[in-house]
Amino acid sequence: MRVQTQKSGTSWLCPNPGDRDRLLDMEQRLDGVRRTAFGVLTATILVAAPWMGWWLIAPVVACAVAFGLADRGLENSARPEYRIAFVWVCSQLTIAACASLTGGAHSPGLSWLVVPIITLPVRFGTRGVAAGVGVTIAMLLAVTLGFDFQSTINGPEQFLFPLAAIVAVALMSTALLNSDLEHRSEAVVDPLTGMLNRNALITRVAELAQQSEITKEPVALIVGDLDRFKLINDGHGHAAGDAVLKDVAYRIRKRLRAYDLAYRLGGEEFLVVLPGADPDHASEVAEDLRAAIANLPIAGLHVTMSFGVAGSSPGEFDYESVFEEADHALYEAKHGGRNRVCTRAAAALAA
């Protein structure tokens, strides 16, 4: 399954700008493992069917059909998170149906309700995890109390033990994910400005090249460098220099689209990556960034920034060559008087 990663907007399941991109990326990574896991559960049902009943195959087939219908429209969906959530609920419904057909509260299949819980934190945020756990508990209640009320009342452990496992797995998998994200953030986020750093860029470059080849769209780069930053550090101290870097990073992020990427390459040098943008559009963005920085004082200082812009041809993004051209354009901006934008057209890359 291949999904687009440039969907804007927010929703209840994806309340933050980057949530949908993370969800789609994780869905792509989980796709093969999910199918294998589904195959293992299906194979177990088929092996046990002669003893437990061939009707168990019916909910499995229904779930497979739901998977296929949801995946078919995922790529072009404006709100793919709801299709993914639908498939997740279908998987739990399948397990609940199989459990209800094989003994209800006494079914060995009740333990399987824990399996989809593991995937919740890596796909959704706190809202999605809470909603998924709530849906699962409701299904557990239906299979136990709903199908075998008296037996469950007489032996409440049949409900309480699976309930404890569901909640515990949700809590532990969420904590593990948060810990992993925190450590990864430390590795790819610049601690001063909160921007992505070179480590994050290395990972993203290969993805952008592949994405450009598939979509046949260009990718533009904007390289920016603060003018005479050394004078700020020498004349006003490093605290003032840090304040300038933080404010510049904030102004850059504020002016970009949700799926544009901003990096601090080191020192006073920044990089903006614009997927789907040609050099002309990138030049307009760079000019907007230049004005946003120059028009208002930063930490009581008049600060300016020079920018170099370059872009790839459609479907042919080679980061090294495009960055080299953008860097040359930045050099021209510096030697042309600073506080300006210089651009290298895509055609220059083929020269």
Give the model's pLDDT for residue 167. 94
- φ and ψ of 88, to 5 deg: -60, -45
**All domains in the chain, ordered by first residue:** 19-187 (no CATH), 198-350 (3.30.70.270)
pLDDT bucket at 346, cuts 50 / 70 / 90:
low
pLDDT digits (tens, 9 = 90+) for 64-86: 787 777 677 666 677 888 888 98
User: CA nearest 248: which of 329, 306, 334?
Assistant: 306
* pLDDT of 350 higher than 90: no
Under DSSP, the state recorded for 56 is G
* pLDDT of 133 higher than 70: yes
Cα–Cα distances in Å, from 295 out to 119, 226, 245, 299? Answer: 47, 14, 16, 13
Percent of the chain whose predicted confidence (pLDDT) is above 70? 91
3-state SS, residue 99 = helix
Task: List the structure tokens of 41.
Answer: 């559960």
For the chain, how long is the longest CA-to-CA vector? Answer: 85
Query: Cα(347)–Cα(324) distance, rounded to whole angstroms?
Result: 14
* pLDDT of 4 higher than 60: no
Give the model's pLDDT for residue 183. 61
The residue with greater pLDDT, 74 or 298, is: 298
